Amino acid sequence: MTNDINSWLVLKHTKGLSSARALELVTRAGSAQNVINLDQSSLIDLGLSPDAAAALKRFDQAALDNDLKWLDHPSHHFVPHGSAHYPLLLAKIPDPPLGLYVVGELQLLNHPQLAMVGSRNPTKQGEENAAAFAHFLCEAGFAITSGLARGIDAASHKGALASSGLTVAVCGTGLDAVYPKSHIGLATQIASSGALVSEFSTQTLPHKGNFPRRNRIISGLSVGVLVIEAAYRSGSLITARYAGEQGREIFAVPGSIHNPMARGCHRLIRDGAKLVESGSDILQELGQLTRSALDDNEAKKACISTETPSGETLKNEDHEALLHSLGYEPSNIDQLCARTGLTADAVSSMLLILELQGHVSITDGGRYMRAYKKENQ
């Protein structure tokens, strides 16, 4: 297997050899190792130009050595196209990566994933919405996939981690360094329970051209993409465009007409994206995929559960206590803080999650009350 990985890395570090052409060679020759064992004339017979065939014989040995040194760590992996751990959904996109560098859990690559992207400069409400949606979707069994960028990406990863859920960060650099550097701690958390992923080899520095390519992987790994706050011309819309081309579902959260960070979402909705007001909107749209994710996640639900008036369950003691502190009349945040002993920030965050889950509704006066289903529902 080591020799096979080396062969894939030789293809990876051959100047001018695209992933598509490399995969074509592997298909025709039978394996990556067969490709690199061919002489130049045989490579030309397979369709390479003389210059490309010569380049394959003088690949970047120093770059390959850097990758091999990085791969010495037990949690560092290179997953070539067609291998058992290569993501099945990603393999189906028009331009799949030749291979993926991964830090963390390989099994997570084929876990049901929902991508969440948005502005690098969101409003506070946008960040809170991202964290709450991520929390809810993780509890529904999905892994949250995003790009480790500032703003909505980071809030989505953090929301997943806060729920003890699974999250995947797709990076636009080599995985031997974290970009942005301020997210080193976040990347470490993700790697310990989830996965960091990149198609870029070690020592690949941040470059503006890398990030659109990164975005096609974010959408390619996922069954759908949720956009939360994006300007009219936003990189997040590139991810949504890729999602459309790849046949993925596109979801967008609407916002105020006065918020410039909502205009990209409104543009997507006008173009056919599903308008999302709650996490349940996403689960209903994904249908059978949701049920599969719930089945896969059943073993992770061994925590305290309490039946609620909506007929669903809660699995967090603080959320449970907050819900029980709500009486039959609307209550404001100050009242709930007094009843539970929780801080206003904690109560506000949990109320948003409970609202997304359908346990709580908000009144016109900005107060909260429990949501009850009608008996005939």
Over residues 222-244, mean pLDDT: 95
Confidence of residue 155 (pLDDT cuts 50, 70, 90): very high
Residue ranges matching CATH 1.10.10.10 in the chain: 303-370
Does 39 score more than 90 pLDDT? yes
Bridge partners, residue 116, by sequence: 226
Over residues 174-201, mean pLDDT: 97
pTM listed for this prediction = 0.79
Question: Which residues have a Cβ under 8 Å from the Cβ of 205 and sit 6 or more positions away?
Answer: 173, 174, 177
Task: Give Rg (Cα) of the chain.
Answer: 23
Going from the C-alpha of 39 to that of each of 20, 56, 64, 217, 314, the distances in angstroms are 21, 10, 20, 33, 63
Find the helix or strand (DSSP H, E) in which 170 lies. Answer: strand 167-170
CA-based nearest residue to 261, from 290, 294, 234? 234
Residue ranges matching CATH 3.40.50.450 in the chain: 106-296
- Decide: 240 and 232 in contact? Cβ < 8 Å: no
- Decide: 216 and 173 in contact? Cβ < 8 Å: no
Query: Could you give the CA distance from residue 128 to residue 152 in angstroms, rounded to a whole number?
Result: 9
DSSP 52-79: HHHHHHT--HHHHHHHHHHTTSTTEEEE
pLDDT in tens, 325-346: 886 678 888 888 888 888 877 7
Q: Is the dihedral of CA 268, 271, 276, 279 positive or negative?
A: negative
CATH topology of domain 303-370: Arc Repressor Mutant, subunit A (1.10.10)
Q: Considering the domain 106-296, what is its CATH architecture?
A: 3-Layer(aba) Sandwich (3.40)
